[in-house]
């Protein structure tokens, strides 16, 4: 079975020959420490990962050495691994008249996606990374104003969510024409304490837009992975109903439990996750990493429909050798038919 075939089988809740693995982000420092390679595409091929997540390309206007402005007019930090938004162009509904929406058909928008597709073709999965309806309005308004806007300016928030639906649907259509088959939407809707807004508010104001976007993706023929950090159990029924194919990462720091999610939703959703990348892959022991991989495969992999990964990403703080142990343990414990005796044995 090809690496891509493994990913597709898992997303369709089937058993591949091996539990597939890929990450949303593979930090360059970690990659180089393991292989000496600068190219992410080269790293994925050498380490034989099953897929790569690729975002759309966006031009940046440098403001000074530490900040840049993206095509939406959002000011972002340039010095961090994650380019967080710190300047926001929409303070009121009147600002919508001046909001310049980037061209989803720009000739350079899919350069990185095209390069990955050309390199891997039908051998490895190339997942296009888009947004759904939470993060774009958040970045345009700013976190505090966005969350307050659900009470103070709900019409503005909903209009920005509608813009997100239309824009990401167009991006998806373009990606489909280029051969794309899998989308991940990565908008965080929760923290470790629960949803960022009340469950009722999510259901009434956010979920209708999210569901419409997912249905647009499905109508185009995509398999869809929903990523969000935090504890999302309050709206897991709604997420499962939306039409997504996979939920990620079943955040362990948010009190999420793969075994519970598998038991309740495994007949409808594939699962991706969730070896802890805050502690276990940063400062754990080799034995702790192996145990985490074994436990995740035991709890998520039986019966298929499972992709193993970190609980978020392979970020700069991950110990490269612990990631290597992770990869080795996945090969040891993740071959189908799974050895349930080995997976269930206490201690390894």
* Percent residues over pLDDT 70 in the chain: 99
Query: Is 237 a residue whose pLDDT tops 70?
Result: yes
- 347 — pLDDT class (breaks 50, 70, 90): very low
Measured CA to CA, the distance from residue 266 to residue 178 in angstroms comes to 31
Measured CA to CA, the distance from residue 52 to residue 58 in angstroms comes to 18
Mean predicted confidence (pLDDT) in 31-45: 98
Domains of the chain (ranges; CATH) run 3-58+102-344 (3.20.20.210)
Give the tens place of pLDDT for each residue, 180-215.
999 999 999 999 999 999 999 999 999 999 999 999
**DSSP assignment of 49-107:** -SEEEEEPP---EEEETTEEE-TTS-EEESSSSS--EEE-S-SSGGGGGG-----TT-T
Measured CA to CA, the distance from residue 251 to residue 174 in angstroms comes to 31
Give the tens place of pLDDT for each residue, 154-185.
999 999 999 999 999 999 999 999 999 999 99
Q: How, if at all, do strands 51-55 and 67-69 pair? A: unpaired
């Amino acid at each position: 079975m090809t690496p891509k075939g493994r990913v597709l089988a898992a997303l369709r809740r089937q058993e591949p020959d091996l539990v597939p693995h890929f990450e949303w982000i593979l930090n360059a420092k970690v990659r180089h420490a393991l292989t000496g390679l600068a190219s992410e595409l080269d790293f994925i091929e050498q380490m034989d990962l099953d897929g790569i997540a690729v975002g759309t390309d966006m031009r940046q206007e440098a403001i000074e050495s530490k900040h840049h402005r993206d095509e939406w007019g959002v000011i972002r930090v340039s010095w961090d691994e994650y380019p967080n938004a710190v300047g926001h162009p929409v303070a009121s509904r009147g600002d919508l008249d001046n909001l310049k929406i980037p061209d989803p058909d720009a000739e350079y928008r899919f350069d990185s996606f095209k390069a990955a597709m050309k390199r891997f073709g039908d051998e490895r999965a190339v997942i296009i990374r888009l947004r759904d309806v939470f993060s774009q309005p958040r970045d345009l308004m700013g976190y505090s104003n966005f969350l307050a806007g659900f009470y103070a300016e709900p019409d503005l928030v909903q209009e920005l969510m509608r813009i997100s639906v239309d824009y990401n649907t167009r991006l998806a259509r373009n990606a489909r024409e280029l051969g794309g088959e899998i989308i991940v939407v990565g908008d965080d809707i929760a923290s470790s304490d629960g949803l960022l807004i009340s469950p009722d508010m999510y259901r009434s104001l956010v979920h209708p837009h999210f569901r419409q976007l997912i249905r647009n993706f499905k109508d185009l023929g995509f398999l869809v992975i929903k990523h969000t950090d935090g504890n999302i159990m309050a709206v897991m029924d709604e997420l499962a109903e939306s039409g997504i194919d996979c939920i990620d990462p079943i955040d362990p720091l948010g009190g999420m439990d793969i075994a519970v999610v598998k038991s309740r939703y495994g007949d409808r959703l594939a699962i991706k996750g969730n070896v802890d990348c805050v502690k276990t892959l940063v400062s754990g022991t080799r034995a702790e990493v192996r145990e985490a991989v074994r436990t995740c495969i035991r709890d998520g992999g039986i019966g298929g429909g499972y992709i193993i990964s970190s609980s978020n990403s392979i970020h700069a703080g991950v110990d490269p050798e612990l990631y290597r142990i992770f990869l080795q343990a996945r090969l040891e414990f993740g071959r189908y038919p799974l050895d349930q005796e080995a997976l269930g044995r206490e201690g390894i």
